[in-house]
């Protein structure tokens, strides 16, 4: 569905740009006003027969002096070539090979998309005088072995990949950084991107190594809601107003969402989101974590996290959120079949009132739904401040979970620096969001990505809540990288059955500690003796 939508948009843009780019341009500007478009008779046959016009390249350098290839017009690249030509300046890199962590375009099954990506590859190779080698590490190695394989290839003097940009690059980031494999920022990242792109997830142990290259403004996972739907249900206050009034504890949230559930149409679910994202958000808002961000040691057996699981059990039992499902064939608990992955478009289709604020929710429902934003509710581990001001919740331990998506980093031994690697990768992927961020930031615009894509969707109070919530962000490396598969299975089973989650979490503790030690995310010297004993038992 999403791919089809993207292709449809690209085709619509292509037809517009073909007419704009292929029309004959006069040698000098004509002072005569151009008649309105509806008064002109388009000559379709002449348009088709015309040769592509010759357009100057980036900063006057043109890799195609005889005119752009036809596919540049077909996909709208000629227009983009000019749009970013002042900021993205290709250089003749002398025929070097640049290894990208990406699947080769030839491997794409969709015929139209395969042709498009192959043409993009050719464009970038000619523009920079390079050869792009696609080494998709997830396909080359076992998933869990990727960091070790990258480190080994670096140690052998032949890095398997030079530039990372992909969903799972975030998961390997800490191990690669600690092993000294990643190139620290030389100032280019800090100078070209606003802090929300790198200050939380791209900065590791005091050093900037990369940046979140995909919509980092929405990486702070709170909750967004359908404001007109809430109002139509006759609720006295919006969730945002409830939070700011100090009425957004677990109990407040439960009562509010229960009443909303009674008033919503039968086919509308109050809260639709994967349970792991809810669990992480609820934990941070309750002043706890799954693993301590400072030590990476598990805290999921402590009362504040167990309280979060019990809270999610109540939400599932009452119908406020969909419970997980049990797959009898595989004998595993998994995300509710009715809401994952189909939960994703439900907010766009107005079949849910509230969802986790994933980046795609803003884009897919922008222009269709008036969004409201509210942070996660807090539990008993976070007390409403004596000052009565919600901004002081942070002083009591309230935090927001930052979910980095596509970490862009480069590996030591890369033939290109951060700037050139980013230009090459973003040119190949036509990653307009990152390009716009760079250009806007260089122009001195404040928060250039958040402004057009988020703030216009919120009331002023929601904007204030969003900014406060984003400022509380913590990136818990071990959550996205170090959790054993059995962790979420235990949590899902507890939510689905209503049983105590503690036995399931105790059963995976030894594997968890062993895995963290094996991946060098923790040191034996920092692990309590009882946890070490469990890890050693698991390793027998």
DSSP code per residue over 229-281? HHHHTT-SS-HHHHHHTT--BHHHHHHHHHHHHHHS-TT-EEEE--HHHHHHH
Rounded to 10 deg, the angle between the 303-317 and 485-497 helix axes is 50
- Token pair, residue 350, equals 């107005």
Whole-number Å distance between alpha carbons of 99 and 421: 10
The most distant pair of C-alpha atoms in the chain lies apart, rounded to whole Å, by 85
Give the pLDDT score at 222.
84
Specify the pTM.
Answer: 0.68
Whole-number Å distance between alpha carbons of 205 and 266: 49
Model confidence pLDDT, tens digit, residues 346-394: 576 778 899 887 655 555 565 667 888 899 999 999 999 999 999 999 9
Q: Are 256 and 242 a contacting pair, CB within 8 Å?
A: yes
Lateral strand order in the sheet of 211-212:
130-134, 96-100, 163-166, 407-410, 211-212
Q: Are 175 and 521 a contacting pair, CB within 8 Å?
A: yes
Tokens 């016009």 locate to 53
C-alpha 23: how far from its chain's center?
Answer: 39
Tokens 């390249």 locate to 57
Whole-number Å distance between alpha carbons of 55 and 97: 28
* DSSP state at residue 467: H
The CA-atom distances, in angstroms, between 408 and each of 43, 90, 318, 358, 388 are 46, 19, 42, 19, 41
**Residues shown for the chain:** 540
Task: Name the CA radius of gyration of the chain, rounded.
Answer: 26
Exposure b/e, 134-166, CB count within 10 A at least 16 = b: bbebeeebeeeebbbebbebbeeeebbbbbbbb
Give the pLDDT score at 287.
95
Give the pLDDT score at 112.
77
- Token pair, residue 292, equals 């301590």
Give the pLDDT score at 515.
86
Whole-number Å distance between alpha carbons of 314 and 438: 45
Averaged pLDDT, groups of 10, the chain, 540 residues long: 37 35 34 35 36 36 54 51 54 93 89 82 88 91 82 93 76 80 92 73 84 61 88 96 97 98 92 84 94 88 97 95 77 57 56 76 63 92 95 94 77 92 79 59 55 53 82 72 80 93 96 86 90 91
């Amino acid at each position: 569905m999403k791919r089809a939508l993207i292709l449809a948009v690209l085709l619509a843009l292509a037809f517009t740009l073909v007419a704009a780019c292929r029309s004959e341009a006069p040698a000098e500007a004509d002072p005569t006003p151009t008649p309105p478009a509806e008064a002109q008779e388009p000559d379709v046959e002449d348009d088709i027969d015309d040769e592509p016009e010759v357009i100057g390249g980036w900063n006057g350098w043109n890799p195609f002096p005889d005119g752009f290839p036809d596919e540049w017009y077909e996909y709208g690249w000629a227009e983009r070539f000019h749009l970013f030509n002042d900021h993205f300046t290709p250089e003749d890199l002398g025929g070097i090979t640049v290894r990208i962590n990406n699947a080769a375009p030839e491997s794409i099954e969709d015929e139209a998309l395969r042709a498009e990506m192959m043409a993009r590859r050719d464009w970038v190779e000619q523009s920079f005088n390079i050869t792009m080698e696609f080494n998709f590490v997830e396909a080359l190695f076992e998933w869990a072995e990727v960091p070790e394989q990258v480190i080994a290839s670096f140690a052998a003097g032949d890095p398997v990949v030079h530039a990372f940009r992909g969903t799972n690059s975030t998961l390997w980031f800490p191990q690669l950084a600690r092993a000294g494999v990643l190139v620290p920022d030389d100032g280019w990242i800090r100078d070209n991107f606003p802090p929300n792109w790198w200050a939380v997830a791209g900065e590791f142990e005091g050093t900037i190594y990369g940046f979140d290259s995909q919509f980092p403004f929405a990486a702070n996972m709170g909750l967004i809601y359908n404001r007109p739907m809430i109002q139509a249900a006759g609720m006295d206050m919006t969730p945002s107003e409830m939070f700011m009034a100090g009425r957004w504890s677990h109990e407040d949230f439960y009562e509010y969402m229960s009443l909303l559930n009674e008033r919503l149409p039968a086919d509308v679910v109050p809260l639709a989101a994967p349970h792991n994202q809810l669990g992480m958000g609820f934990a941070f808002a309750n002043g706890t974590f799954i693993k301590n961000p400072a030590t990476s040691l598990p805290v999921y057996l402590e009362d504040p996290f167990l309280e979060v699981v019990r809270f999610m059990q109540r939400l599932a039992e009452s119908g406020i959120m969909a419970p997980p499902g049990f797959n009898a064939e595989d004998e595993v608990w998994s995300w509710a079949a009715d809401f994952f992955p189909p939960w994703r478009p439900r907010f766009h289709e107005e079949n849910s009132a509230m969802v986790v604020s994933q980046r795609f929710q803003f884009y897919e429902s922008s222009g269709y739904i008036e969004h409201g934003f509210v942070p996660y509710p807090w539990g008993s581990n976070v007390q409403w401040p004596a000052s009565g001001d919600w901004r002081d919740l942070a002083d009591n331990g309230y935090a927001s979970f930052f979910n980095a998506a596509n970490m862009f980093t480069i590996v030591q031994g890369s033939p290109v620096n951060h700037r050139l690697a980013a230009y090459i990768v973003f040119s190949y992927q036509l990653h307009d969001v990152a390009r716009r961020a760079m250009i806007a930031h260089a122009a001195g615009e404040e928060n250039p990505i958040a402004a057009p894509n988020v703030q216009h969707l919120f009331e002023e109070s929601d904007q204030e809540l969003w900014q406060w919530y984003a400022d509380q962000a913590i990136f818990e490396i071990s959550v996205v990288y170090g959790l054993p598969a059995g962790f979420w299975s235990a949590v899902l089973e507890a939510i689905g059955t209503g049983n105590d989650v503690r036995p399931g979490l105790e059963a995976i503790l030894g594997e968890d500690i062993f895995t963290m030690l094996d991946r060098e995310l923790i040191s034996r010297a920092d692990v309590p003796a009882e946890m070490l004993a469990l890890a050693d038992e698991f390793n027998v």
